[in-house]
Amino acid sequence: ITSNVDVDQVRLNDTLIINSGATLSVYDGRGTDIYLNSTSITGGGTLKTSGLGTELYVNGGGQYGINCNILILNGTTSVNSTSTPSIHFYGYINIEQQAKLFSYPVTYFHGTITINYTSYFYAAYFWIYGNLINDGIFDGNSFNSFGGNTFVNTGVILIPVNFDSSLSISGNGIYKRSLNFYNGTVTLLSDLNCTDSISGRSNIFVNCSTFNLNGNDLVLTNFDIHFYNPVISNPSDILLYNTSGIYLNAGNSLGTNIYVKQGATGRLGLFGNLLGNINIDSLAVANYSPTNFYGNLYNYGTWNYGPINFYGNEFLNNGILIPSIAYPNEVIKFQGGTHTIEGKGKTER
């Protein structure tokens, strides 16, 4: 194809090349609108879909797919394949406002995906090797992997996402389910806002080699975060709302400040070293504690503490200090140096 072409059905038994500057526009017609019979669409041009129910079907799966840019204008575009389901998209995908893309086979995205405001992306099983720019709704199945370098979210992420590469994360959007960081260096370029409506369902697993908060905050509502790597030393804050928790393996260190916000219940399973401060708001409850606490404590709520060695400078209690149920005979051990102890709170041991 060397110039712009409009059709409502395409059936291909051999490779279709869309030259640079040309556009193949496929509109919703009767039946399958784009049928690839063990072949692909390639070239430097653009495949444009439009209509309420445009369908792309790949017979043969495997290496076959789309190797050109895709522009989804409006309506709904769905992708299906045969019983050996897999399809590859190598070009740039742009889902325009109010448009929807549904991909049901195992899908490999090699180029950048842009999900615009009010648009919707759904992939049942997917690997993304390009970058993602989401200003709409990103949805699908938990069986997925993101291997790109840039993840921008100013919309809503509805599913767990598995990150398997070095990348930067930015945007003021919301993450509704778990995030798993497996490899490489992860750098936050803005605050990370994670909110689930159900406590105990969603987690952040930090198992990458470097997790750089870069001075940005982690805002957790009904989320737990688990740190597995040895040291997180960035001067950043973790804010806990509703029922949220922070867990740190023994021998590891966490350099962030922790804020248990008003009315929240924070689980602090910090079996390593906390280098930052703990701030417990009024009407908030913090359960457990760091094993070795090198920062300062500012308590205005209730702290049900566990075994703790306090190395910090300032210990302010205007709330209640209680040994946790798991450690009813535990005491706070002030270790070495000079400590300032102040406040008019209550200590039950």
Query: What's the mean pLDDT in 258-285?
Result: 93
Centre a 10 Å sphere on the Cβ of residue 51 and count the other Cβ atoms it contains.
17
Neighbours of 48 (CB within 10 A): 20
Query: In this predicted structure, what is the pLDDT of residue 31?
Result: 82
- Whether this model's pTM surpasses 0.85: yes
| Cβ-based burial of 83 (10 A; exposed 0-12, middle 13-18, buried ≥19) | exposed
Model pLDDT, residue 231: 65
- pLDDT tens per residue, range 197-256: 998 899 999 999 889 998 999 999 999 999 987 667 667 999 999 999 999 988 888 999
How sure is the predictor about 325, in pLDDT bands with cuts at 50, 70 and 90? confident
Of 195, 196, 271, which is closest to residue 228 (Cα–Cα)? 271
Quick one: pLDDT band at residue 29, thresholds 50, 70, 90? confident
Residue 295 to residues 56, 256, 274, 313, 314: CA-CA distances in angstroms? 57, 10, 7, 7, 8
Residue 116 has pLDDT above 80, yes or no: yes
Pairwise CA distance, residues 70 & 237, whole Å: 40
